[in-house]
A and B are shown apart, each in its own frame.
Chain A
Amino acid sequence: MPHKVDIAFTLNGRPVAAAVPVSASALQVMNRDFDLTSAKLACGEGECGACTILLDGVSRNSCLTPGVDLDGRDVETVEGLWTGNGMDLLQDAFVEAGAVQCGFCTPGMVMQAKFLLAPGKKLTRDHVLRGLEGNVCRCTGYHKIVDAIVAASGETS
């Protein structure tokens, strides 16, 4: 039995607790302990961004974040964007722009975009391109994703 540690943190606005193996990644904790599957394991080494989540408002590759380091933090995933009466502005922008094809990279893209937009920033295409350097998409060719994020930031460049 791997050694487990009790952790407690805020997950998408709600206080939660779990006993997690010390060697587990934050991604495994999301997937296994909370059945949250939006953050995806793809490369498993920080190159693709499909596992991007927000930790205390800051984007991180959850595959490389120790699960035990979630203790005491504020964790956000795409599942937390659903408000009960609809999608987040950013999700609407992705749909509107046709920025989703197979969808595998989308949750990571959306969370990274959330980080980029954070304090009501107006983003240019260059900001967005630079901000998405750690997120890989093999379908869309990126343009529509960039369009969506620029639109969501209230700027049409």
Chain B
Amino acid sequence: MALPQNQIPTAFEAFVNATSIDEACKALAIGDGTVVAGGTDLWVQKDEAHKTFGPRLINISNIEELARIEIGRDRIRLGARVTMSDILDNGDLGDIAPALCEAANKFASPQIRNAATIGGNVANASPAADAVVPLLCLDAKIELSKWDGKKISTRDVPADAFFSAPGQSVLAVDELITAISFEHPGTNPIARFFKSGPRPALEIAIVSLGFSARLAGGKLTNVRIALGAVGPTPVRARKTEKLLEGQRLTDDLKAAALDTLADEISPIDDVRGSAWYRQHLARTYLQEALHDAAQS
């Protein structure tokens, strides 16, 4: 297929088929690297004129350390190249992180789920990134690793401090996302994920909403609400969380929460939906989440 004339594909000029984190980070330290995991974002974007990528392609698909799912007593750790299919196939995550599994379940198509990694979903920094929304509700940390000249050094960035603009984040050119981790949420967490699109598969969310909380003595605690595609990055709805925290779910409180949510998000009109429709969806999803929370 001929490319439209305004599109200049990125021509990669070197290739590193990394088999260890060390090898990938050393290659990234050169400063002209582009990481590829599943390729489901990169292989589309490399042909877009407004995007530029470093000419050294660094494949991380064969790094076994990055493919692990570790379920610890206190923390859960997902290697960066864990795919959406891996998340769905894991026997434990369904109970521990049901909203994350629901996001993986509503993700694209089987072929894309087989390729798409959690690290790639985070690194790509789309405002609509599905896996990011439940990760925000889980207070997830993004582990970034780099070669500092002598050894691998790592830093953990909270998911809600990671994104800065569409496609942009605090990830530096020499850094590799090595893992995503979060505290074990304990038994039976209330956790939901909602996503809308014209068909159930292969849709970029018009709006997505994640909700998580605990119910103690009839009161909501640890309330987390996150949304995709209502702003330049995936966002937490902190004002709404604060309003609900420690409260009993009365009808008045529910109504106030929906209004607060509508105030604190700033969706735009675009091809996928109008700002008005996005507001409507966000309210509807929160209403459903609160309704379910009250029943649980």
- Residues 106 to 151 of chain B near chain A (Cβ within 8 Å): 108-112, 114-115
State in angstroms the CA–CA spacing of A51 and B115 once bound together.
14
| Given A23-B10, A25-B43, A64-B43, also A72-B62 (CB < 8 A) | yes
**Interface membership of B271, Cβ < 8 A:** no
Q: Are B57 and A134 in contact (CB under 8 A)?
A: no
Q: Are A3 and B14 in contact (CB under 8 A)?
A: yes
State in angstroms the CA–CA spacing of A52 and B112 once bound together.
10
Chain A residues positioned under 8 Å from B85 (CB to CB): 58
Binding site for B on A (CB under 8 A): 2-3, 5, 21-23, 25, 41, 44-47, 49, 52, 58-61, 63-66, 68-69, 71-72, 112, 115-116, 130-131, 133-135
Q: Are A133 and B202 in contact (CB under 8 A)?
A: yes
Chain A residues positioned under 8 Å from B202 (CB to CB): 47, 133-134
Binding site for A on B (CB under 8 A): 1, 9-15, 17, 36, 38-40, 43-44, 46, 57, 59, 61-62, 85, 108-112, 114-115, 200-202
Q: Are B57 and A68 in contact (CB under 8 A)?
A: yes
The majority secondary structure among interface residues of chain B is: loop
Q: Are A134 and B15 in contact (CB under 8 A)?
A: no
Q: A23-B9, A65-B43, A66-B57 are in contact. List 18 more A-B contacts (CB 8 A).
A: A2-B11, A3-B12, A3-B13, A22-B57, A23-B10, A41-B1, A46-B108, A47-B202, A59-B114, A64-B39, A66-B36, A66-B43, A68-B17, A71-B17, A116-B110, A130-B110, A133-B201, A135-B109
Q: Are B59 and A69 in contact (CB under 8 A)?
A: yes
For B59, the closest partner residue in chain A by CB is: A69
State in angstroms the CA–CA spacing of A65 and B36 once bound together.
10
